Structure 1
């Protein structure tokens, strides 16, 4: 019996690794009902005309600066994450809410190319599906180093972005608007002016559509030409929630309620374990500097967006946490957790289902912890080494007995 057990051990180890590989890369999704609707939406069946979007954030790709762990471990599983998620959940489109590069603001155009290639490799054949990528602070830098020419160049290599890093597109009669939220944190600069132009243009289009008549766009966009930080706007008669789906990297400034006041939040519970303590340190990512988690779009810019766009729902990234909460005017905002082990031990993403009418179903999906994988693989390697040691000792004992008999 012991002999047969030892002979079966390699098969058991290989089988365990296979099941671990499948388990760690298969998403576990939990429907998050709106706080003001209880569980009524949880059992809603998907309709024929529904649009399902997989929304991820903070991939933190490193391009050609791969270490061995990134090349043979993290990239492997990130690719598996995408494959398994698409196979299991069958979304109609992919949205990346910024920071798809780890240190893009420090790269030249030549060094940016490997980052773009790495992104295309990770999503592989899934690139045939529609996808939209917006820009984060790690992609283009903070205000002091914001380079409009670099933003224009990166935007030209991503689908649907204009020279200011903004975009607008429509799928299944649902309009999506993405804004360069990094520029909204900055003072007088051309990029911020370009973001304001996008907001006013989309606001005008929605007002025209709702009024049922076409009006010509005038040169006067209602903007402060000196780009005052006060953000000038004209009154908007649209009701809250009647505008586009808004995509941002930075969350909007909280209004009226705290983020977890009666809302659904999944926050990282830090313990004294080495892995948890190092989660925030990992965001430095080999000397790229601290990753500010306190960034939100300023209150005046937030109010400007609410008044001009009346967003149907807002999806934002940058935060370590998943949160689903309502602003004072009833606008729903969902913050999407990072989908990278560089950012946190347990990555995740969001599946948004846009149903007929204005209803939006949101599911928070979690992926396997990196620490569990390391511990489990370490145990398997230790067992294999122990088996080799036992085999060596058995062989050595047999040889010594043979020598003794001689």
Structure 2
């Protein structure tokens, strides 16, 4: 009976250990990682004759990119289950701890949106809504990426309108929150070859640029400038451009940081209209809007670029562990005239694997020790029985 009791104690301990390790790696590990993150603080410049710092409306926004939810064609069921659970837990933990007012996903929400049938598309959208569910006081804005509707040569009105209908977004839109202007751009349509979708998007961007310039000039000059009488009114704040493709850059050679592209990838030359926007499209966006910040995705790695020594761009890494060992997201604090950014890293996949391997090795050692002890005990018992029979 004592041996039987010891056996069950070992089994219970092993089950308890496995349960604790599983709970930590699949649920609790996200809390200490995201708990270390905080909203960046902005230095509020003195205002008014007294020079006192007056409160200004502050917007807290979270940015992530390239979730690449696997579809029915290339997605293995275990890969789907694993990656979607990781992203769901990370996102829900971030919402609970950080309470952003608005969340932007910078494209490539789906991995196979460019190929999906109607049924597969509905299934993918349903899984996305479950994973990225959010409270009513948090707004979720999703931008289009090349994997959502296809590269330029694959994109058509059906795929594009299917995406826009689900996420209530258009290919060129100015979104204003707390006097902060966010320009949402379908960068896949910035091909510049005169295709109907490209023409429609560029025409709308040009109109938005003129309207925004009218608002800025009106605030500076007083009377409404000629041609601005019917312009849409925006707050007099330079916009923040959000899109999937980065603006043109030669490569990631100048990118640094722990989540930048690896040494073997960093010096690979980018292809225009495939890896980055063309030089012409990039010049148009910068000339039309003169943004104070650009945020983009697509490359799956982090990068900070200063275009023309005036326009900073941040490339947001992929949010999926399928694409990176160390996914992250950006926290941004914005006012009409200023902003501050910080990065929040999620648990590394290698850490989770190391915890599982260590726990597995420890349990294996425990089992071997237990078997060794049990074998010694049985040998002793066998010895005693033999002696007793000989007597």
Q: TM-score, normalised by structure 1?
A: 0.75
Q: Which residue of 1 aligns with 2:333?
A: 353
**Closer, same or farther in 2 for the Cα pair 1:305/1:268, shift >3 Å?**
closer
Measure, in 2, the Cα distance between the counterparts of 1:197 and 1:294: 22
After superposing the two structures, state which structure 1 stretch, 308-317 or 382-391, moved more. Answer: 382-391
Please say which structure displays the higher CA radius of gyration: 2
Q: Does 2:179 correspond to 1:170? A: no
**Distance in 2 between residues matched to 1:377 and 1:331, nearest whole Å:** 44
Residue 54 of structure 1 and its aligned partner are, at CA, apart by: 0.5
Instruction: Indicate if the aligned counterparts of 2:40 and 2:331 stay in contact, CA closer than 8 A.
Output: no
Question: 1:322 touches 1:364 (CA, 8 Å); kept in 2?
Answer: no
Deviation at residue 77 of structure 1 after TM alignment: 1.8
Q: Which 10-residue stretch deviates more, 21-30 or 130-139?
A: 21-30
Q: Return the offset for 1:63.
A: 4.2
The yes-or-no answer on 1:204 pairing with 2:210 is: yes
After TM superposition, give the deviation of residue 16 of structure 1 in Å. Answer: 5.2
Q: How many angstroms does 1:312 deviate by?
A: 2.5
| SS of corresponding position for 2:167 | coil
Runs (4+) of structure 1 exceeding 4 A deviation are 5-21, 28-33, 45-48, 63-66, 258-261, 263-267, 291-294
Query: In the alignment, which of 245, 249, 254 is matched to residue 250 of structure 1?
Result: 245
Q: Note if contact 1:24-1:369 (Cα within 8 Å) is conserved in structure 2.
A: no
CA distance in 1, matches of 2:54, 2:366: 51
Structure-2 residue corresponding to 1:236: none
Alignment partner of 2:363 out of 369, 384, 399 = 384
SS of corresponding position for 2:153:
helix
Q: Select the residue among 309, 317, 328 that pairs with 2:289.
A: 309
Q: 1:194 to 1:266 in 2, by over 3 A?
A: farther
Q: What is the TM-score of this pair, normalised by structure 2?
A: 0.77
Secondary structure at the aligned position of 1:144 is classed as: coil
Asked if the contact 1:266–1:321 (Cα under 8 Å) also holds between the matched residues in 2, the reply is no
Q: Is the 8 A contact 1:143 1:186 kept in 2?
A: no
Alignment-derived partner of residue 284 in structure 1: none
Mapping of residues 300-379 of structure 1, within 5 Å: 300-328=280-308, 330-355=310-335, 357-379=336-358
Shift, 1:269, TM fit: 6.3
Q: Is 1:82 aligned to 2:87, yes or no?
A: no
CA RMSD of aligned residues (A): 3.6
SS of the aligned residue for 2:114 comes to helix
Shift of 1:386: 2.9
User: In the alignment, is the contact (CA less than 8 A) between 1:312 and 1:358 conserved in 2?
Assistant: no
Structure 2 spans left out of the alignment, 5+ residues: 1-5, 45-52, 219-223, 386-391
* Count of aligned positions: 350
Structure 1 residues without counterparts, runs of 5 or longer: 34-39, 219-240, 272-276, 281-290
In 1, the alpha carbon distance for the partners of 2:54 and 2:325 equals 32
